[in-house]
Structure formats: structure tokens, C-alpha cells
Chains A and B, each alone.
Chain A
Amino acid sequence: MKFLLYISDYIMPFVLFYVVGFGLLMKVNIYDDFVKGAEDGLKVVVGIIPTLVGLMVAIGILRASGALDWLSNLIMPVTDMLHFPSQLVPLVTIKMFSSSAATSLVLDIFKEYGPDSYIGRLTSIMMSCTETIFYTMSVYFLTAGVKKTRYTLAGALVATFAGVIASVIIVGFM
């Protein structure tokens, strides 16, 4: 697994090197393009501030009141049997419905356990391979005006759980 961590260190610099190097070769205005693109990123982040304030306050209240601990103690017998940390069950569940609500739970987990702990790493990997099933399905099918979604939900759930299982196995090697 040393190898994997080694690869991890290379990915970001490699992407930067490749894109900037290729841009130079193609003689495009890389700097102007970069600045223009970066401006779009700023707008995206500023746009999510109100959502993030609202949801982080809600999660903060749940954490401080003890409701989150209470919930994870409640499901602990089941999750212990599956060798899955009970603190992450609310996260996996909420992620299926809302990505911003999941984000505030992720931050809560990082604050409580640290991003480099077992739970923190598992959270990071799990969030990288799952998507908001119900939200995505409703937006896409509503836009297309499709009512009967057939096996989409089943397939999405199977893929999501495969991702969760893979994350648990991989983080065990880190």
C-alpha cells in the first residue's frame, strides 16, 4: 500500500504539469484562461456559502445536543457486526439525499476524529466514490418527464454499496 500513497503524492502535480505543459505546447493563453476559470470557481464557492451556513449550524446543533452520539450508539450493535463504524451510518444515509447536508456531516467527522484517523480516511474515500442517488434521480427524471424509472434505483444502490465496501477494504490497508 506504500505504492498507493506514493501515487497519491504524484497525482496533483502531474495533472498541473500535464495541463500547463500541454497548454504551452498548444500555444494557448494559459494564464488568461487560468484566471478566467479561477473566477468561475470563486463564484461557485460563494454561491454555496448560504447553504453551508444553514446546514453546518443544523449539524452543529445535532452534535452539541448529543443526538448524533445517541443515534450512532443506537445502531452500533448492527454496524459492529458488519465491521463498519456506526458514526458513518448517518453520513452514508444522508449522502443519498443531499450532498450539502453530507458535506456538513463530513466536516463534523473531521473535527471530531481528525481527517487522518481511520474514520476520517474512510469518510474521505467513501465520499469520493458515492453520489446523491435520490437527488440526482429526481432532477434528471423530472427534467426528462419520465415517471417509471425501472431498475435505475436498484443499480444506483448496488454501485453505491460496492463503493462503500471497497472503501472499507482499502482503508484497512492504509
Chain B
Amino acid sequence: MLNYLWGFMIVIGIVVGVLTGRISEVSTATINSSKEAISLCITMLGFMSLWTGIMNVARSAGIIGALTKALKPILRLLFPDIPKDHVVNEYIASNMIANILGLGWAATPMGLKAMKELKTLNKNSDLASVDMCTFLIINISSLQLIPVNIIAYRSQYGSVNPTEILGPAIIATCFSTLVGVLFSIIARRSCKK
């Protein structure tokens, strides 16, 4: 996917640059953009490592474990057909909590394990189960407490108050997830009929 996306962006950009006579700007942009990528990463190093450090403390203090447990009753509502003590509940809960806390790279391995278990529950069919659909729709609707990256980018580009978007962002992310949940519940019902 990125092969084409990246390739076309560069090829089209350069062709348009020649046509509009802005090739010298294009030339400068290539050098400046690569420099900018590095200075951005330096800003991100600070906030990102602060966040992962704090989340590691949260993990060893048992906060993340407690949150995962607290999610269980909600999982019963979303996935009524999964056996109550099945290990997949664990995977789904950890995936969701990691996503909510902005630990995307920690969320994916758990999510993939959950998918494999859901596949076994689905008798290895190559048709997605209702539970898989619900799980992915909620995953993609992206419930996130603190958008760690966005805050780092905002401060890099001189925002007066990088965290001012936190409250509004929480409302928006709750709303999109709520819509995803409602969609899944309605779709599940109409599948059963």
C-alpha cells in the first residue's frame, strides 16, 4: 500500500512542481522536510518516553490490571456469545486498555492473539464471526484517553497550550466509539434473525 502512496506522492509532486515552475521550492522542501522529521522526533522523544515510563509504573502498580478487570462486565455486554472464562476475554480487554492509554504498539500483539482465539471459537471458518466484527469496529473507532502523539506535534509547532484539545478530543472519541458500539449491537441483532 505504502509503495504506491509514497511513490505517487513523490512522482506527482515533482511533475506538478515542474509544471507550476516551483521546482526550486520543491528542491528546498526535500532538504527541509527531512531535517524537520528529525527535529520532530527529538521533541517526541521527550513526551513519548515520559508517557511510556509513567504507563510502565501504572502497569507494575497494578493499575492497568485493575482497569482490565473493570472492563470485563462491559465485555459481557459486547460479546454475549463468548464463554465467560475464555482466555480471549483477557486479550480483548488488554487490547482495549492499551489503546485507551495510547500504547498502540502494546495493543496490537494482544489484539492479534484475540483474533486468533476468535477464529478458533468460530470453528476456523473464513467468514468473520459477529464477535470479530464487533471487536474490530470498536478497535477502529479508537477510544483514546490521551492522544500522546498529537500533543507532541502540537508543542513542536508552537502551540500555546498543547493539551487544550484533551477535553474536546475525549468527547469526540467517546462519541465515535459509542456509534461503533451501537452499530455492532444492531448488526448483531439483525444477523441473528
Mostly, the B contact residues are: helix
Q: Could you mark each residue 47-88 of chain B with 1 if its beta carbon is under 8 Å from any beta carbon of chain A, else 0?
A: 011111111111111110000000000000000000000000
What's the minimum C-beta distance from B112 to chain A, rounded to whole angstroms? Answer: 5
**In the assembled complex, A73 has its CB within 8 A of some CB on chain B:** no
Instruction: Given A38-B50, A66-B16, A124-B147, check contact A57 B33 (CB 8 Å).
Output: yes
**In the assembled complex, A40 has its CB within 8 A of some CB on chain B:** yes
**In the assembled complex, A16 has its CB within 8 A of some CB on chain B:** yes
Q: Which of A28, A61, A110, A115 contacts B61 (CB 8 A)?
A: A28
Instruction: Given A26-B62, A60-B30, check contact A65 B53 (CB 8 Å).
Output: no
- Most chain B Cβ neighbours within 10 Å, of A55, A149, A151: A151
**In the assembled complex, A86 has its CB within 8 A of some CB on chain B:** no
Chain B neighbourhood of A150, CB < 8 A: 127-128, 130, 133
Who on chain B is nearest to A123 by CB? B150
- B57→A33 contact, CB < 8 A: yes
What's the minimum C-beta distance from A166 to chain B, rounded to whole angstroms? Answer: 4
Mostly, the A contact residues are: helix
Instruction: Given A140-B112, A148-B127, check contact A53 B172 (CB 8 Å).
Output: no
Instruction: Given A35-B53, A116-B159, A156-B140, check contact A144 B150 (CB 8 Å).
Output: no
What's the minimum C-beta distance from A142 to chain B, rounded to whole angstroms? Answer: 9
- B26→A61 contact, CB < 8 A: yes
- B166→A140 contact, CB < 8 A: no
Chain B residue total in the interface (Cβ 8 A): 102
Instruction: Given A38-B50, A152-B137, check contact A61 B144 (CB 8 Å).
Output: no
What's the minimum C-beta distance from A161 to chain B, rounded to whole angstroms? Answer: 8
Q: List residues of A (125-170) whose CB comes within 8 Å of B's CBs.
A: 125-137, 139-141, 143-152, 154-156, 158-160, 162-163, 166-167, 170
- A11→B41 contact, CB < 8 A: no
Who on chain A is nearest to B184 by CB? A155
Instruction: Given A58-B10, A60-B30, A124-B154, check contact A19 B57 (CB 8 Å).
Output: yes
Given contacts A7-B166, A56-B40, A62-B9, 12 further A-B contacts (CB under 8 A): A19-B57, A22-B61, A23-B61, A30-B61, A37-B55, A55-B6, A106-B150, A143-B116, A146-B119, A146-B125, A148-B127, A154-B183
Mark B residues whose CB is within 8 Å of A.
1-2, 5-6, 9-10, 12-14, 16-17, 20, 22-23, 25-26, 28-30, 32-34, 36-38, 40-41, 44-45, 48-63, 105, 108, 111-112, 115-116, 118-119, 124-128, 130, 132-133, 136-137, 139-142, 144-147, 149-150, 153-154, 156-173, 175-180, 183-184, 187
The 8 A-B residue pairs with the shortest CB-CB distance, nearest first, are A37-B56, A60-B33, A163-B176, A41-B52, A38-B53, A65-B17, A159-B180, A61-B13
5 contacts between A and B (CB under 8 A): A19-B63, A28-B60, A35-B53, A42-B48, A61-B29
